[in-house]
Structure 1
Amino acid sequence: MKGLNFLHSLTVSAVLLCTSPTGGYVFQGIYDCEYGDNITDVVFLVKNIFNMKLNNMYDSRVGKYVGFGSYGIKNAEHYNTQAWKMALRRAQVDILCRYNARLFRQSTLDRKVPPVVRVHLDKPADYGVRTMLRCSVLGFYPQEVRVSWLRDGAEVSSDVSSTDVLANEDWTFQVHSYLELTPKRGERVSCRVEHSSLPESLELDWDSFALDAKYAKMTVGIVFSFVGFSAAAGGAVYFWWRRRFDFSRVDSQGSSST
């Protein structure tokens, strides 16, 4: 395991402190697991430190204790003759290091949480009026993500801005991308998100229903206003015509029979 690149280090035991009330001696025992880039390469170390100096250390790369200084070398030779201690140290490579590596991988390297994507306006808008769209990408893991904008299927880069990737309290992330535009009727505007948790890129269209509904309501209002005005005008004309041409009926009761 020579030349192993240690990027991760995990201490899996508490530091043991033994002090003398008069001499002030301190003994520390540290169990340490160190991992390479892919978490499969592991080095297990047991460090015995006396008064801030490394006395001896078990190193899984050589499978035995190594001493430092005359006193440390004596201790290392003694530990190496203890079969039960050496068997325990070999077992701890799996019990402590590889077990914790699996937990670490599940919670970090192998963890995939797909994002929730929303495309919406920050404030009310209208066709033909400059406004801003927001694409909110929420609750994803890992951190690496790419967000882009499409107009009628073509990617746009101008008038685009974005926040930094922000961390959430549950170890997920969020990011918000913005597009300044002048909405056009019938135009398709989409937010595209690329993330390792997704089998393919996700494209979500901006739903312009609110703008279309606004115009639909205006049209319906105009139609009903016109119908109401026409009905009122027709009623007024009919009333005027009745009063203008209302001939009295002949009173048949005014004539008597002989």
Structure 2
Amino acid sequence: MHKTKVPGTDAKMQYPVLYLAMILSTLFETVHAHYGYVQILCHSSISQQTVELTYSVNFNKFEYLRYNSTEEKVVGYTEFGEKWAEDYNKNKIILAQGDLLMQHCRLFKVLIASFAEKTVKPEVIIRSDKEAKGNEKAVLICSAYDFYPKPIRLTWMRDDKVMAADVTSTEELANGDWFYQIHSHLEYFPKPGEKISCVVEHASSHKPMIYHWDPSMPESERSKIILGAVGLLMGVVIAAGGLIYYKRKHTGFYRLPACLLPVQTVNDTELQ
């Protein structure tokens, strides 16, 4: 029989799986090519501080019986399961095993609760996805990345008023590493001097986090200016180099290095 030890206790856990498997084996002796299994579940509510253990015996797609730690009894769902339940309740077999399994459930609840208390603040970015042209509205995207836990709320505000129309949001998308991301889109016609903000409400902050959109220079225009400045600088450098080359070529003046200048020797007569 498999035995495990719960950290922090001296009690040894003995699972009833082997006992129930022996019972299931009696069914396999008479009925072949069918599937039976025992399901053990721990139900924990962190908000209500409750733990419940249930395990059931299933065979041939039917649930024969189920034990519930809250009611502390076994209930049968078939004629054969009712006979099992009567025997289990009379001899207190599952009740004794259930108390031992509950210790595992309580330990599991502590681990889940400790993880649930951790929060990670989202990284929020507002960017322009589309500029307004004629009758077409501009589109802003507010994105929140790498946050935990999952519940989060994104809203848009325009001049300190909540915008409900022309707003669409994705659901919380799992990154695959316990963190999540979400994206909210706002369609609008820009107005001079307005203030647009993305408000993020999450468990990682005790108050709403407000991020303002800076419409002074759209991202596309900023990229164009940077590329233009780089091109202008390269043009100035090339033009200056060409001008220097042109001047030297037409004046005929070249300054030779000192090592290439002729050396004049002086003899003894000239010294006298």
TM-score by length of 2: 0.53
Partner of 1:136: 143
Secondary structure at the aligned position of 2:31 is classed as: coil
Does 1:34 pair with 2:47? no
Give the length in aligned residue pairs. Answer: 193
Partner of 1:20: 28
Which residue, 172, 179, 183 being the options, matches 1:175?
Answer: 183
Taking the aligned partners of 1:54 and 1:122, their CA distance within structure 2 comes to 54
Letter in 2 for 1:177: H
Partner of 1:242: none
Taking the aligned partners of 2:41 and 2:35, their CA distance within structure 1 comes to 19
Letter in 2 for 1:101: K
How far is the alpha carbon of 1:90 from its aligned partner?
A: 1.0
How far is the alpha carbon of 1:174 from its aligned partner?
A: 0.4
Which residue, 171, 174, 183 being the options, matches 1:165?
Answer: 171
Distance 1:62 1:131, change over 3 A: closer
Partner of 1:190: 197
Aligned ranges 1:90-129 → 2 under 5 Å: 90-95=99-104, 97-106=105-114, 110-123=117-130
Kept in 2: contact 1:35–1:42 (CA 8 A): yes
Taking the aligned partners of 1:122 and 1:54, their CA distance within structure 2 comes to 54
Letter in 2 for 1:33: C
Distance 1:92 1:133, change over 3 A: same
Kept in 2: contact 1:105–1:111 (CA 8 A): no
Distance 1:50 1:130, change over 3 A: closer
Taking the aligned partners of 1:20 and 1:75, their CA distance within structure 2 comes to 21
How far is the alpha carbon of 1:202 from its aligned partner?
A: 1.4
Letter in 2 for 1:174: I
TM-score by length of 1: 0.55
Which residue, 55, 69, 72 being the options, matches 1:46?
Answer: 55
Taking the aligned partners of 1:132 and 1:51, their CA distance within structure 2 comes to 56
Q: Deviations over 1:147-193 (max 9, x none)?
A: 12233xx2152764222324233351302131413242x54432222
Distance 1:202 1:71, change over 3 A: closer
Secondary structure at the aligned position of 1:98 is classed as: helix
Letter in 1 for 2:53: F
Distance 1:29 1:150, change over 3 A: same
| CA RMSD in angstroms, aligned pairs only | 4.1
Secondary structure at the aligned position of 1:191 is classed as: strand
Distance 1:69 1:114, change over 3 A: same
Letter in 2 for 1:176: S
Partner of 2:153: 145
How far is the alpha carbon of 1:199 from its aligned partner?
A: 2.1
Secondary structure at the aligned position of 1:135 is classed as: strand
Secondary structure at the aligned position of 1:32 is classed as: strand
Distance 1:26 1:39, change over 3 A: farther
Secondary structure at the aligned position of 1:210 is classed as: coil
Q: Deviations over 1:200-236 (max 9, x none)?
A: 111212234535987xx7xxx9xxxxxxxxxxxxxxx
Secondary structure at the aligned position of 1:30 is classed as: strand
Taking the aligned partners of 1:49 and 1:159, their CA distance within structure 2 comes to 51
Of the structure 1 ranges 46-55 and 201-210, higher mean CA displacement relative to structure 2 is found in 46-55
Taking the aligned partners of 1:130 and 1:69, their CA distance within structure 2 comes to 67
Kept in 2: contact 1:39–1:101 (CA 8 A): no
How far is the alpha carbon of 1:92 from its aligned partner?
A: 1.4
Aligned ranges 1:75-86 → 2 under 5 Å: 75-78=88-91, 80=92, 86=95
